[in-house]
Structure 1
Amino acid sequence: MQMSEGVEWALHSCLNLAWADGRAVTAGKLAAFYDLPAAYLNRQLQALARAGIVTSTSGPRGGFRLARDPARITLLDVVVAIEGEQEAFRCRQIMRDGPGGRSDVDYRRHCLVSQAMSRADLAWRRELAAQTLADIGAAVERKHPGAPRAARNRLDLPAD
């Protein structure tokens, strides 16, 4: 399974917004932070807004902010906002057309391959749901204590 680059961009943008201390940051500034295409990042930010992860404000002091506390935004929230809710594995029930297959059987529930893939998907989702932006931010800050200040400076946000 491979996620789109939009997931990485969205996660890093959310982390930078967490360090912006509630101040609005434009899509252009967030894109410039990592030299990303602003129009494409803006689409990711709009998806995050539709999911209630960020809010957007227009105008000269407008931009994006986290919509809720980083401790209440999981990595799974961001992944689902960008990639959608569908499972990575989609059972097409090919066993119906195989030897001994039956049209009256739901092979998504009876196929051991499908069951194994569903368990793996559930484990992956549980791991992402167990980690919040606050968790990641704290880990980054332990390793790089100046990261929040450096992010605010790079985003050209005034000092507190």
Structure 2
Amino acid sequence: MKLGDGVEAAIHCAAMLAGVDGDGTLPANAMAEAFGLSPSYLLKHLKALTAAKVLESLPGPSGGYRLAKPAEQITLLDIVLAVEGREPAFRCGEIRQKGKYALDPSAYVKPCGINVAMLIA
């Protein structure tokens, strides 16, 4: 599975914010500049992290972003799911029921074993 570039940016921003003291914040522009990213590109991912309650966004001239909870309570999986979404990476197209050798639909009483294995993985 290949994760999008936004995951790397999101992880770096969360790590940077973990180093901010107290209730301090960092503006998106400062993080974008620190990592050489487009502010609009980074904002998309910061908004996703905020929606997932990994980050908090504070408006105003002294606003910016901060972690929504202690860094120890944020996992890499939290960040990946915020950026990439919760949709499974594998989507079964039930190709076993298509094609030249497909059986009658009534023969497929059990879920696709490959789909089950991939979802567990």
Q: TM-score, normalised by structure 1?
A: 0.68
For 2:34, the equivalent position in structure 1 comes to 33
Q: Is the 8 A contact 1:13 1:30 kept in 2?
A: yes
Distance 1:89 1:106, change over 3 A: farther
Distance 1:46 1:106, change over 3 A: farther
The answer to which structure has the higher helix fraction is 1
For 1:7, the equivalent position in structure 2 comes to 7
2:56 is paired with a residue whose SS is: strand
1:115 is paired with a residue whose SS is: helix
* Correspondences of 1:80-99 after superposition (within 5 Å): 80-98=81-99, 99=101
For 1:148, the equivalent position in structure 2 comes to none
Unaligned residue ranges in structure 2 (runs of 5+): none
Distance 1:52 1:106, change over 3 A: farther
Distance 2:28 2:40 in 1: 8
For 1:20, the equivalent position in structure 2 comes to 20
Offset of 1:101 from its aligned partner? 2.7
Of stretches 35-44 and 96-105 in structure 1, the one that deviates more from structure 2 is: 96-105
Q: Cα deviation per residue 1:43-75 (whole Å; 9 max; x = unaligned)?
A: 100111111110111111100000011111111
Distance 1:23 1:106 in 2: 56
Q: How many corresponding residue pairs? A: 118
Q: Cα deviation per residue 1:81-119 (whole Å; 9 max; x = unaligned)?
A: 111101111001111114243324366x2x332233223
Q: Is the 8 A contact 1:93 1:106 kept in 2?
A: no
For 2:103, the equivalent position in structure 1 comes to 101
What residue identity is the alignment partner of 1:83? E
1:91 is paired with a residue whose SS is: coil
Runs of 4+ aligned residues of structure 1 deviating over 4 Å after TM superposition are: none
Q: Is the 8 A contact 1:27 1:63 kept in 2?
A: yes
Q: Cα deviation per residue 1:13-69 (whole Å; 9 max; x = unaligned)?
A: 000000112311000011111111111101100111111110111111100000011
Distance 2:109 2:32 in 1: 46
For 2:119, the equivalent position in structure 1 comes to 118
Q: Is the 8 A contact 1:55 1:64 kept in 2?
A: yes
- Identity of counterpart residues, as a percentage? 38
Of stretches 82-91 and 97-106 in structure 1, the one that deviates more from structure 2 is: 97-106
Distance 1:33 1:102, change over 3 A: farther
Unaligned residue ranges in structure 1 (runs of 5+): 121-160
